[in-house]
Amino acid sequence: MESSVKAAGKPTMAGQIEVQLRHDILHGILAPGAKLNLDKLRSSMDVGLSPLREAVTRLVAEGLIEAEAQRGYTVTPISVANLNEVCALRLELEPYALRKSIENGGLDWETAVMGALYRLNKTDRIPGDPVSLANWEVANNAFHLTLVERCDMPLLIKMYKSLVSMNDRYRHIYLKAVAVQRDVIDEHTAIAQAAVERRANDAAALLARHIERSTNNLRLLISADLPENPQ
């Protein structure tokens, strides 16, 4: 999701700052609800205020930072209600995007889907091992993006990536200290097989069930940690 890239392919300064801030937010280094002091951030990151503001503005648009008049910037808080909203939007958008990919994608797309599945299934996810967890996250996101990217709808893909970032933040924060909740190899395999076999209804239903199961696991953890949050 490193969108801030010049035509020549070299990230701009704002793009580099955006990548770092996104990483720190998604992994809980910048805690949910934390106030962001731009002067302190500028000093600690040794960057200029202008590119920092540009990066923060992009993350506001992405939903990871909130801006409030006269009160500055805050890392978007986490809550069960927010997770539920992210899940609801994913359930609307992702199965639709997958259906469109099945319509539009050819042999190259089928090959890409099965290749991404193979890489994901061959990537270990070891609780307590941050390197393996990070590698699995990359492979997992690549697989899911490959499934839907041939919807050929840039705005939809932009919204999809934003929702995935918000969902990933919950997973990074809450699953880094606990065991992997379930083995999803069979789920991913079933989705991929239905997709490349052009069984659009089955593929969309399997993807929706996969999203719901993942969200339910996170919801249980968050509800235990934030019992006062509205459901």
Bridging pattern class, strands 65-68 and 35-36:
unpaired
Helices in the chain by DSSP H: which ranges?
13-26, 38-45, 49-62, 80-104, 107-121, 130-148, 154-175, 185-196, 200-225
In the sheet that 65-68 helps form, which strands lie side by side, from edge to edge?
A: 35-36, 72-75, 65-68
| Residue extent(s) of CATH 1.10.10.10 domains in the chain | 13-75
4's CB contacts (< 8 A; 6+ apart) are 11, 12, 14, 15, 16, 18, 19, 55, 58
Neighbours of 166 (CB within 10 A): 22
Confidence at 99, pLDDT banded by 50, 70, 90: very high
Is it the case that residue 8 has pLDDT exceeding 50? no
Highest mean pLDDT among 59-68, 145-154, 178-187: 145-154
Report yes or no: 105 and 94 within 8 Å, Cβ to Cβ.
no
What pTM does this model have? 0.82
Report yes or no: 19 and 56 within 8 Å, Cβ to Cβ.
no
CA 162 to CA 59: how far, in whole Å? 10
The whole-number average pLDDT for the span 180-204 is: 91
Is it the case that residue 4 has pLDDT exceeding 80? no
Amino acid 119 reads: R
Is it the case that residue 7 has pLDDT exceeding 60? no
Tell me the torsion sign for CA atoms 78, 81, 82, 87. positive
CATH fold group of domain 80-225:
Four Helix Bundle (Hemerythrin (Met), subunit A) (1.20.120)
Pair of tokens at residue 206:
């399997």
| Residue extent(s) of CATH 1.20.120.530 domains in the chain | 80-225
Return the DSSP state at 129: -
Say if domain 13-75 classifies as CATH 2.60.40.420.
no
pLDDT tens digits, residue range 100-139?
A: 999 999 999 999 999 999 999 999 887 777 788 889 989 9
Confidence at 170, pLDDT banded by 50, 70, 90: confident
Tell which residue, 113, 111, 134, 112, has the closest CA to residue 123: 134
Largest CA distance in the chain: 54
What pLDDT shows up at residue 226? 58
The whole-number average pLDDT for the span 4-28 is: 76
CA 4 to CA 7: how far, in whole Å? 10
Return the DSSP state at 178: S
